[in-house]
Amino acid sequence: MKKLPTITMALVLMTATACGSGDSSGSDDGTITMGFSQVGAESGWRTANTESIQQAAEEAGVELQFSDAQQKQENQIRAIRSYIQQDVDVIAFSPVVETGWDAVLLEVQRADIPVILTDRSIDSADDSLYETFLGSDFVEEGRKAGQWLVDNAEGEVNVVELQGTTGAAPAIDRKEGFEEAIAGSPGIEVIATQTGDFTRSGGKEVMEAFLRSHDDIDVVYAHNDDMGLGAIEAIRAAGLEPGEDIQIITVDAVEAGMEALAAGEINFIVECNPLLGDQLMELAEQVVAGEEVPKRVVVEETTFTQEEAEAALPDRQY
């Protein structure tokens, strides 16, 4: 190899160091800068998740560049590219949908910036594109919802399903887990299923349509509390009693959902823990330091009946 004059080599070394030549120990004073792209602000769960991340960053001394994608993938991709330009130490995000990430994550990989997936994962053949995924097992959440129905259903049961955002991991997986759990109970049938996009208004609009086209609905399975709360409004407007005439099963266990559960308007909630902030900051410090981390970190969560909700409400953090 042609030997570079001494002065040139010195310049090369200075430039490499200044541009963060893969040196992943944070900025000079050790402060870690994290670029975080959040899905949006579509639900009570999302609000609690955002608050957890922002509070944990402050407590950990992590400099957080935070963006809200308003549930649009193109906004998340744009934010990720801006974090590459800023040469942050680590990029974390909750992918609004499972697919369409390989190209931008390859750009991040070429910039030598580690990626942490939180809350939702991606469907990619290349798992080198991210260091770890921190979040719930959504298929298991769906199974828990379906198993409660199997354990409590009597005779023929017609279910309508309010799905989460089309293409999102929790929507795909909660549907899969629920179907798996009820597969051995032929008396339980999903007679209609449609996305309500994880929002209260979406759940209300879809439930209104279901009620117009079906007069034999026994159970609503909503992929999150917010859509379940919207369904309650539609059921009441139709002159029916939520929790009685039509039973409701939801996922998340945010405060408004738990209050409806304790009041008897919802019958069962599967918890999905949004408080990922502290674990995210710990993982960020590890990956920036170049330490090995598990490819998947699953969060602990439980389920609530009406009686359990009443007892748990006073101590809930979200």
- Chain contacts with ligand GZL (rule: CB under 6 A): 42-43, 45-46, 119-120, 135-136, 170, 198, 224, 226, 251-252, 272
Q: Is 280 exposed, middle or buried (0-12, 13-18, 19+ CB in 10 A)?
A: buried
Tokens of 45: 């769960």
Helix axes 225-237, 255-262, angle to 10 degrees: 50
- Residue environment code for 228-243, b if the CB has 16+ CB neighbours within 10 A, otherwise e: bbbbbbbbeebeeebb
Residues 6+ apart with CB under 8 A from 271: 251, 252, 253, 301, 302, 303, 304
Maximum CA pair distance of the chain?
A: 86
98: nearest Cα among 162, 159, 43, 176: 176
Looking at residue 289, its amino acid is A
**Closer to ligand GZL by Cβ: residue 132 or 136:** 136
CB 191 within 8 Å of CB 183? no
**Closer to ligand GZL by Cβ: residue 117 or 288:** 117
**Closer to ligand GZL by Cβ: residue 89 or 226:** 226
Residue 29's SS3 state is: coil
**CB of residue 201 vs ligand GZL: minimum separation in angstroms?**
13
**CB of residue 287 vs ligand GZL: minimum separation in angstroms?**
21
**CB of residue 196 vs ligand GZL: minimum separation in angstroms?**
10
**Closer to ligand GZL by Cβ: residue 136 or 267:** 136
**CB of residue 113 vs ligand GZL: minimum separation in angstroms?**
23
First to last CA, the chain: 61
**Closer to ligand GZL by Cβ: residue 32 or 232:** 232
**Closer to ligand GZL by Cβ: residue 46 or 175:** 46
Q: Which residue do the tokens 């449609």 mark?
A: 194
**Closer to ligand GZL by Cβ: residue 26 or 148:** 148
**CB of residue 96 vs ligand GZL: minimum separation in angstroms?**
9
**CB of residue 116 vs ligand GZL: minimum separation in angstroms?**
15
Tokens of 77: 């991709």
Element (H, E) at 257: helix 255-262
**CB of residue 71 vs ligand GZL: minimum separation in angstroms?**
8
Looking at residue 233, its amino acid is E
**Closer to ligand GZL by Cβ: residue 32 or 220:** 220
**CB of residue 224 vs ligand GZL: minimum separation in angstroms?**
4
